[in-house]
C-alpha cells in the first residue's frame, strides 16, 4: 500500500514538472527592450558613414568690470630709502583711488620686487636699489576707467601694465554662444551633405574647442586653453600724457565690447 502511494506521488510531481516545461516552451518570446535614447533607425546612426564639421559663434557684450594693473617704480641709493619712497607712493595712490570712489577691498598689491642696481653689468658693486610695485584695481563701474588712470598718474603711478574689460555674466553669454555654435555646425553639415544628395543623420560626437588666440599689450600675441581669456580680449595701454590731457570725451580708454566666443566640433552620421 505504501509503495503504491509513493509511486502515485512521484507520478503526480513528474506530471506537474512536464506541464510547467510545456507552458514555458509555448509562451511567446518577449522582445528585448530598446536601448534608451535610440529613437532613430540604425541607418541614421551608422558610424562608418559620417561627416565632421565645426561651428563657432561670438557674442559681443558691454563689459561691466575692469581690472587695471598699475606699476610704481621707485629708486634710491639705500634699501631703506627705496622702501620708504615705495610706501609713500602706495599711500598716495590708495588715497587718490579712494578719493574717487574706489573701495579699498578692490585694491590689491599684485607684485612687490626689490632689485639691486649696479653701475654696469660688469661690476658687482651695488650703487642703489629699485622697487617695482604692481597694483591691481577692480572697477565695478567701467565708466570710471579714464578718471582712475588720470588720478593714479597724478598720484605717482608711472606704469600701466594692462587694462582688461570683462563681464560677470560669463556663463549666460557663454551658453548663448554655445547654442549658436551648435546651430552653425548643424547648418554646415546639412549644406555639405545636401550638396552630394545625402542627408545629415544623428549626432555621433560633440567636442568643445577651448583654445583661443588673443593679443595683449603686455604679453603680445599668444594662445590659451583658458576659456576665461577669450572674454578679456580688449586690452589697452594708456600713455600718462594722454590721460592728463583728456583729449577725447571718453578719455584715452574706449570701453567698447568684449567678445564671448564658443567653438564646437560635431560629428554627424550620413544617411
Q: Which segments of the chain does DSSP mark as H helices, in order?
A: 2-26, 79-99, 145-155, 170-195, 240-245
CATH code, 143: 3.30.70.2970
Q: Indicate the pLDDT class of residue 7, thresholds 50, 70 and 90.
A: low
230: alpha, beta or left? (left if phi > 0; alpha if psi -120 to 50): alpha
Q: Around 256, how many Cα atoms within 13 Å sit in the side-chain half-sphere?
A: 16
Which of 24-28, 83-87, 106-110, 116-120 is predicted least confidently? 24-28
Dihedral in degrees, nearest 10, Cα atoms 138, 216, 56, 65:
10
pLDDT at 201: 95
Flag whether pLDDT at 18 surpasses 60. no
| Any domain includes 158 | yes
Determine what percent of the chain is predicted with pLDDT higher than 70.
68
Q: At what angle do helices 145-155 and 79-99 cross, to 10 degrees?
A: 150
| Any domain includes 49 | yes
- Mark which of 138, 166, 194 sits at the end of a domain: 166
pTM confidence score? 0.59
pLDDT digits (tens, 9 = 90+) for 179-216: 999 999 999 999 999 999 999 999 999 999 875 444 44
Domain that holds residue 142: 65-166
Please check whether residues 72 and 105 belong to one and the same domain.
yes
- Mark which of 148, 166, 184 sits at the end of a domain: 166
Amino acid at each position: 500500500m505504501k509503495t503504491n502511494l509513493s509511486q502515485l506521488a512521484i507520478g503526480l510531481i513528474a506530471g506537474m514538472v512536464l506541464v510547467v516545461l510545456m507552458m514555458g516552451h509555448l509562451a511567446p518570446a518577449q522582445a528585448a527592450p530598446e536601448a534608451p535614447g535610440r529613437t532613430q533607425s540604425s541607418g541614421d546612426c551608422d558610424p562608418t558613414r559620417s561627416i565632421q564639421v565645426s561651428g563657432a559663434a561670438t557674442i559681443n557684450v558691454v563689459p561691466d568690470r575692469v581690472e587695471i594693473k598699475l606699476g610704481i617704480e621707485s629708486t634710491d641709493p639705500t634699501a631703506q630709502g627705496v622702501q620708504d619712497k615705495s610706501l609713500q607712493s602706495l599711500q598716495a595712490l590708495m588715497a587718490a583711488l579712494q578719493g574717487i570712489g574706489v573701495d579699498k577691498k578692490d585694491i590689491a598689491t599684485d607684485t612687490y620686487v626689490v632689485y639691486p642696481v649696479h653701475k654696469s653689468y660688469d661690476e658687482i658693486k651695488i650703487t642703489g636699489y629699485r622697487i617695482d610695485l604692481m597694483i591691481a584695481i577692480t572697477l565695478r563701474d567701467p565708466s570710471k576707467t579714464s578718471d582712475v588712470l588720470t588720478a593714479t598718474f597724478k598720484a605717482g603711478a608711472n606704469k600701466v601694465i594692462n587694462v582688461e574689460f570683462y563681464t560677470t555674466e560669463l556663463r549666460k553669454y557663454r551658453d548663448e554662444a554655445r547654442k549658436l555654435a551648435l546651430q552653425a555646425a548643424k547648418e554646415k553639415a546639412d549644406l555639405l551633405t545636401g550638396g552630394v544628395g545625402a542627408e545629415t543623420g544623428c549626432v555621433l560626437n560633440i567636442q568643445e574647442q577651448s583654445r583661443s588666440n588673443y593679443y595683449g599689450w603686455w604679453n603680445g600675441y599668444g594662445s590659451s586653453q583658458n576659456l576665461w581669456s577669450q572674454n578679456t580680449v580688449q586690452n589697452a595701454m594708456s600713455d600718462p600724457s594722454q590721460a592728463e590731457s583728456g583729449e577725447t570725451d571718453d578719455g584715452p580708454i574706449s570701453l567698447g565690447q568684449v567678445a564671448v566666443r564658443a567653438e564646437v566640433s560635431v560629428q554627424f552620421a550620413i544617411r
